Amino acid sequence: MNYIAFLRGINLGSTHKVPMRDLKESFESIGFTNVKTSLNSGNVIFTADEADVSHVQNIIGNHLEKTFGFPINTLIRTQKEVQEMVEENPFKNITMTAQTRLYVTFLSESSKSALKIPYESPEKNFRILRVSNNAIFSVLLLSGKYNTTDAMNIIGKEFGKNVTTRNWNTVVKMAK
pLDDT at residue 133 is higher than 90: no
Q: Please give the residue that has the higher pLDDT: either 41 or 48.
A: 48
DSSP symbol at 6: E
Q: What is the pLDDT of residue 104?
A: 97
pLDDT tens string 5-26 = 999 988 877 778 899 999 999 9
Q: What is the mean pLDDT of residues 28-51?
A: 95
pLDDT tens string 42-57 = 999 999 999 999 999 9
Where would I find the H helices in the chain? 20-29, 53-68, 79-88, 148-159, 168-175
